[in-house]
Amino acid sequence: MKKNETIYERYRQLIASGAIAGGERLPSVREAAAETATSVNTILNAYERLADEGWIRAKERSGYFARARARLENAAPAIPERFVSSARETGERLDMVFERLTRTDSSLAVAAPGTDLFPADRLEQAFGRLRRSWIEYAQAAGDPGFRKRIALASEETDGPTDAEDIVVTNGATEALSVALRTFVRPGDAVVLESPTYFNYFRQLAPFGAEIVEVPVGPDGMDLDMLEREIDSRKIRAIVAQPNVQNPSGVTMSDGAKARLAALAESRNIILIQDDVYGDLAFGPRRARNLSAFSGYSGIVLVSSYSKSIGPGLRIGWIRSPEYAERLAEEKLSASFESCRAAQFALSGFVATAAHRRHLGAMRRELEIRVDDHIALLSDLLPEGSSLRRPSGGCLLWIALPVGTDATAVFERSARKGLIAAPGEIFSSNPFFTNYLRINAGWKLSADRAKALSCLKEAFA
């Protein structure tokens, strides 16, 4: 074994066994080099590999720290069977839980980062400098200058992007409902990931669509199963979140993205990529979108600034070089145009150096918060719980021990004012009845840690 492998292996075991606890500082590179009688470079190599694999984390100017992951991450969440269901029935079944989720503003259940992470001052200054530009009617597709800013912001991950291909919407929710109304007709079959964002079921309900759920594994949607599904029936559309999937937190590999696009193209299936968390993928480079791997004209991107700049702006967009005109017509019928005041305020910010700096800082801070929450939950959750560290964003998808009734946990903790999202709403089927989704996007202050500790009682 090479020296740096020996050192890697030693620390890995110390962390996995809990001998080095989550949050504990590792020896500095210099100290470790002296201690093991190797070079600084050897230690650096070992530490970098440990960091790449998620065992430790580098904090700027303060050294390397073990990540709290041992107990929760040693078991991967289960992969459900595939199942076909009626969107209408599912929509109705979920109404009760759903209503309680949306009528409270508990920070544990909301799927957005802590509000302290948004560039509020900058946007409020921009709102104060609108100079009447927000008064006149514009195009239903959105202000041309703002669409250009969205296109510029997209080019890092998607290559050259045309402002004409973009339709501005009232958040990603309207982006998806406009796309569904454009492409889906009553009785069509639509593929969703399993688990997936619960509002999809509600949005599909009016179409009387047939929902085909395909499980999400460590590399995203199970593409072998997807292939069997599209071989066995006519599928109209696939809705997928290849980057930082909600709730699982999984980001597909580049190879899986390319294969997903190729599968959709092979059967001429509309492939709707929901990328609301793409800007919040951890790491130095932003996760790339499906269109970066395929020229397939049926790829339709929906996204939003709600998770990265501010939910209350309600500004999202659809990008489709092929169908932009039809989508703009549907948007016109749905709600004419989106708030121009917000479009103008955002125009001065999106695709600037300040925007890039904001996203970089937000990703770094979210990663710390997510790790801090995982460390805390390691102590709170019952033996046998597991999760996968998310690839970005702010959501933790927690498998409680098999047989646990997560909805009962939800009910009990809700009575204490602590609302996490119960797993049952993330599927048409009872695959995730032992899961909870928790928002880890807030600073883990002493108060928040104390509030979270109420969860422990909810398992009693």
Interaction between residue 310 and a copy of itself (CB under 8 A): yes
- What residues from 66 to 105 belong to the interface with a copy of itself (CB under 8 A)? 95, 102-103, 105
Minimal distance in Å, beta carbon 42 to a copy of itself? 47
Interaction between residue 334 and a copy of itself (CB under 8 A): yes
127 CB-contact burial (10 Å; exposed 0-12 / middle 13-18 / buried 19+): middle
In angstroms, rounded to a whole number, what is the distance separating the alpha carbons of residues 173 and 316?
A: 8
DSSP state of 28: P
Structure tokens of 26?
């590792």
Among 1, 62, 132, 295, binds a copy of itself (CB under 8 A): 132
Distance in Å from the first CA to the final CA of the chain:
47
Among 337, 371, 372, 424, binds a copy of itself (CB under 8 A): 337
- Which is closer to a copy of itself, CB of 65 or CB of 118? 118
Those residues whose C-beta lies under 8 Å from the C-beta of residue 64, and which sit 6 or more positions away, are 25, 26, 28, 29, 47, 50, 51, 56, 57, 58
- Which is closer to a copy of itself, CB of 105 or CB of 447? 105
Q: Pick the piece of the chain touching a copy of itself (CB under 8 A) from 119-127, 233-241, 271-279, 413-421.
A: 119-127
Q: Pick the piece of the chain touching a copy of itself (CB under 8 A) from 21-29, 240-248, 278-286, 330-338.
A: 330-338
Among 341, 359, 368, 380, binds a copy of itself (CB under 8 A): 341
In angstroms, rounded to a whole number, what is the distance separating the alpha carbons of residues 28 and 264?
A: 49
Interaction between residue 206 and a copy of itself (CB under 8 A): yes
Interaction between residue 332 and a copy of itself (CB under 8 A): yes
CA distances (Å), origin 85, targets 15, 79, 181: 43, 18, 20
| 13-23: b (≥16 Cβ within 10 Å) or e | ebbbeeebebe
Structure tokens of 156?
């890092």
- What residues from 176 to 205 belong to the interface with a copy of itself (CB under 8 A)? 177, 181, 199, 202-203, 205
Among 28, 36, 38, 139, binds a copy of itself (CB under 8 A): 139
- Which is closer to a copy of itself, CB of 65 or CB of 207? 207
Residue 220 near residue 252, CB atoms below 8 Å: yes
CA distances (Å), origin 209, targets 7, 292, 334: 55, 29, 20
Among 165, 174, 210, 275, binds a copy of itself (CB under 8 A): 174
Interaction between residue 28 and a copy of itself (CB under 8 A): no
Interface with a copy of itself (CB under 8 A): 95, 102-103, 105, 110, 112, 115, 118, 120, 123-125, 127-140, 169-171, 173-174, 177, 181, 199, 202-203, 205-206, 310-315, 329, 332-342, 344-345
